[in-house]
Chains A and B, each alone.
Chain A
Amino acid sequence: DIVMTQSPDSLAVSLGERATINCKSSQSVLDSSNSKNYLAWYQQRPGQPPRLLIYWASTRESGVPDRFSGSGSGTDFTLTISSLQAEDVAVYYCQQYYNSRPRYTFGQGTKLEIK
């Protein structure tokens, strides 16, 4: 299975500042036939189910604020929150969905707090 490793495990950022979360996969999740990276980011607020933020590594889901952005390709990916808001306090997970026969795997999660 593809192993997903996030860094850091936790992060404290001041309101209005930038937050950056990294995700590394043990093998490439880039499909060279269509140039798509099968990598998603989810936000899980306390007591809530996960919410899809980003798919194909950099495409924002409908309704997601534009302060959230995803980047990267192959094995290294980044989720950036450009200006942290109080409602962004949550745990963030990356997930790969590369395999045609699903073997979804998630990163261990990054807990984001306000400094």
Chain B
Amino acid sequence: EVQLLESGGDLVQPGGSLRLSCATSGLTFSIYAMSWVRQAPGKGLEWVASIGGGDTYYAESVKGRFTISRDDSKGTSYLQLNSLRTEDTALYFCAKDQVAGNGRYDAFDIWGQGTMVTVSS
């Protein structure tokens, strides 16, 4: 069974930093693109960032502040959050790309339970 487990969420002051982790099991991690999606309290889903094939992509709202990375040897994806703002407060989900090796980014077939980031003074 494929599983994703996020960690690293916390309460942080505006301007602060956090590093989120997404540990995976039950899959050949290196062949899949991975993404982060967030959900502000009581709100909808917002794509944040994706990584695959050495390439990284970001939503405009986080570009220049957040950095996505991965360690294929550990089966883990990371999201470094810098210069945090109150509007970054959200539950951050890690999600796995549905299809491996087709040269494009597809729907998300497996999601973690999420890790909560709260930005407040």
**A interface, CB within 8 angstroms of B:** 38, 40, 42, 44, 49-52, 55, 61, 93, 95, 97, 99-109
Out of B35, B44, B104, B109, name the residue touching A93 (CB < 8 Å).
B44
**B interface, CB within 8 angstroms of A:** 35, 37, 44-47, 50, 55, 57, 93, 98, 103-109, 111-114
Do most interface residues of chain A lie in helix, strand or loop, or is the interface mixed? loop
B107 and A40: CB pair below 8 A? Answer: yes
Chain B's nearest CB lies how many Å from the CB of A51? 7
Q: In the bound complex, how far is the Cα of B105 from the Cα of A61, in angstroms? A: 17
| 14 pairs from A and B in contact (CB 8 Å cutoff) | A38-B106, A49-B93, A49-B111, A49-B112, A50-B37, A52-B98, A52-B107, A93-B44, A95-B45, A97-B107, A100-B105, A102-B47, A104-B35, A105-B47
The total of Cβ contacts below 8 Å across the A-B interface reads: 61
Q: In the bound complex, how far is the Cα of B43 from the Cα of A109, in angstroms? A: 9
B44 and A106: CB pair below 8 A? Answer: yes
A97 and B45: CB pair below 8 A? Answer: no
- A101: chain B residues at CB < 8 Å are 55, 57, 105
